[in-house]
Amino acid sequence: MTPGHRVTRARPHREGAPVSLVRRLVQLYAGLVLYGASVGLQVEAGLGLDPWDVFHQGVAEHTGLSIGTVLIVTGALVLLLWIPLRQRPGLGTVSNVVVVGLALDATVALLPSPQHLGARVPLLLSAVVLNGLATGLYISAGLGPGPRDGLMTGLHRRTGRSVRLVRTAVELTVLAVGFLLGGSVGVGTVVYALGIGPLAQVFLRLFAPAEGARAPGANDGPEAKGGETDGAGPVPAAEGAR
């Protein structure tokens, strides 16, 4: 080595280095768009929706608004309920209110409704799988829970009731109201309920930051990890990006 020559050493990767904000934003908005598209696929399949979308569709039937617009308005109203519950929204929470509804309406407008059951069943199954993928992308970004999941988390903390009980009570209520208003309840409702939890967990593991990496400013609460703690381990987020 000649005098004065400096040796440049490669900097080792620091354990716990922040996950790229760009990556997290891409995951966030890709997840939200795909989530809205998955709901649109399930609407077009015509075999039954998840509880919240049964409600959205029922309200849309009586107001003349599009289902995506109802979803946006409902999300905004639910977000107002965070105030007394002292929940803190993130960028993902606010984006969720708008992006999912717009993507839903765009999908419904562009996709023709199949008439034959042989086409509707694959469309339903594709919708549920895509919803699980979108959930993994969105939640792994760690930029805030969806407004409806945040509502359930807040009610859990304020009432002391288990997350399972709060979620079940809220979803049965919106399902019943939506059904009475004319929302679609059917085999798709059951398939979604049984499939979304396991699918979300698979995609959460796939899209989660690498071991040792961390998302700066990410919500470290259970809702940012795709589930809630209920004294017996994690409970899958059945609503995903909601």
Task: Establish if 100 belongs to a structural domain.
Answer: yes
Residue 28 within a domain = yes
% of the chain at pLDDT higher than 90: 70
In a domain, 218, yes or no: no
Structural domains counted in the chain: 1
Does 134 fall in a domain?
yes
In a domain, 226, yes or no: no
C-alpha span between 228 and 71 (Å, rounded): 23
Pinpoint the alpha helices (H) of the chain. Answer: 21-45, 51-63, 67-80, 82-85, 91-110, 117-140, 147-159, 163-180, 187-207
| Residue 159 belongs to some domain of the structure | yes
pLDDT of 229 over the 70 cut: no
pLDDT tens sequence across 122-175: 999 999 999 999 999 999 999 999 999 999 989 999 999 998 899 999 999 999
pTM to 2 decimal places? 0.81
Residue 64 lies in a domain: yes
The stretch 183-206 carries a mean pLDDT of 94
The residue segments making up the domain with residue 121 are: 21-209
Q: What is the pLDDT of residue 82?
A: 94
Tell me whether residue 129 is in a domain.
yes
Task: Report the pLDDT value the prediction gives residue 209, as an integer from 0 to 100.
Answer: 73
